[in-house]
């Protein structure tokens, strides 16, 4: 049977039906007749009127929340001003220029899968805080891996002297570049190569507290043999960092990003999985460190982090 035709298509409508439609506010052009030949009957008009009332009484669907526009940023009060460099900013500027003028700097980047590290940290962070009294961030894992690799790659943990000699350090004093209100600070974790994850975490927390309180001493910032800069803390994927002169290398840690990557699964073979990925950048002085040296160092750091074998140190 063919579907009934709407009234607008010419079906006859009786005066009684038209009057009933007018009284109930029903537009006959919107009504489909159920009578012979598509004729609109009284029942059709009453049904249309009831449907209209039900629709009017139903609550309106909730509107989708509008995308919230980012809050307007307040313009900096420094706009349009000429001010003198602060003492700290002047020292930073001088050190940066000294580094670039005295070294042949370049950078090498590797990509590291730190999924195991992130899972390990998630498992251990509550018990670690209760036991050690400090939070467990990802940073101590990077410091630990970097320090261990320095022990077997002496050219990366060295100093070029003015008399054309090289000093290969027998200690891993790792500076941590910290962004502060006063400028870039680099407090040093002394003997980082001999510290556990807990020891590194405690020392990092102690030095960070001194940075925030403005209580860093000259001794806290001296004696570094290698520096790590967490450039990813503000979302940067990687950075071509300037080496902390007179050191010959510095490691940059980019932002950890979850994204799909190809992995070789023991049962599934090559497959795509969501992993925690990070770029590590090693900037170095090419006068002493060759690209192959940098690559070997980064490969060892990468292998240590991807293996993620820190359970013993975390009490797991």
Nearest alpha carbon to residue 107 among 237, 295, 240: 240
Q: Token match 């700290």: residue? A: 88
Contacts of residue 287, Cβ cutoff 8 Å, sequence gap at least 6: 103, 104, 160, 248
Q: Which of 153, 290, 293, 300 is catalytic?
A: 290
Q: To 5 degrees, how large is the angle CA 16–CA 17–CA 23?
A: 90
SS3 224: coil
- Structure token pair of residue 208: 């960070």
Nearest alpha carbon to residue 148 among 186, 108, 196: 196
Is 290 among the catalytic positions? yes
Nearest alpha carbon to residue 247 among 200, 288, 202, 303: 288
How far is the C-alpha of 224 from the C-alpha of 155, rounded, in Å?
15
- CA-based radius of gyration for the chain: 35
How far is the C-alpha of 251 from the C-alpha of 149, rounded, in Å?
12
Q: Which of 220, 286, 293, 300 is catalytic?
A: 286
Is 286 among the catalytic positions? yes
**Pair 143, 189: CB distance under 8 Å:** yes
**Which residue numbers are catalytic?**
286, 290
């Amino acid at each position: 049977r063919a579907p009934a035709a709407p009234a607008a298509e010419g079906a006859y409508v009786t005066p009684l039906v038209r009057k009933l439609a007018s009284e109930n506010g029903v537009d006959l052009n919107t009504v489909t007749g159920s009578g012979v030949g598509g004729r609109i009957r009284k029942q059709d008009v009453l049904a249309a009127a009831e449907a209209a009332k039900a629709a009017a009484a139903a609550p309106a669907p909730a509107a989708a929340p509008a995308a919230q526009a980012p809050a307007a940023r307040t313009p900096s009060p420094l706009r349009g001003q000429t001010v003198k460099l602060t003492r700290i900013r002047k020292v930073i500027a001088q050190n940066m220029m000294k580094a670039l003028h005295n070294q042949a700097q370049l950078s090498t980047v590797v990509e590291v899968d730190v999924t195991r590290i992130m899972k390990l940290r998630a498992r251990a962070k509550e018990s670690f805080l209760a036991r050690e009294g400090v939070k467990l961030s990802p940073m101590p894992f990077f410091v630990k891996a970097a320090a261990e690799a320095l022990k077997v790659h002496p050219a990366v943990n060295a100093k070029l002297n003015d008399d054309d000699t090289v000093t290969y350090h027998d200690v891993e004093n790792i500076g941590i570049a910290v962004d502060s209100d006063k400028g870039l600070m680099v407090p040093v974790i002394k003997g980082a190569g001999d510290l556990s994850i807990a020891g590194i975490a405690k020392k990092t927390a102690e030095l960070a507290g001194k940075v925030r309180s403005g209580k860093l001493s000259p001794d806290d910032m001296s004696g570094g043999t290698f520096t790590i800069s967490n450039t990813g803390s503000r979302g940067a994927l990687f950075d071509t960092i300037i080496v902390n002169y007179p050191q010959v290398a510095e490691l940059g840690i980019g932002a950890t990003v979850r994204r799909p990557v190809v992995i070789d699964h023991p049962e599934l073979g090559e497959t795509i999985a969501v992993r925690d990925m990070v770029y590590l950048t090693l900037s170095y002085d090419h006068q002493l460190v060759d690209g192959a040296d940098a690559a070997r160092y980064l490969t060892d750091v990468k292998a240590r982090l991807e293996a993620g074998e820190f359970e013993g140190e975390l009490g797991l």
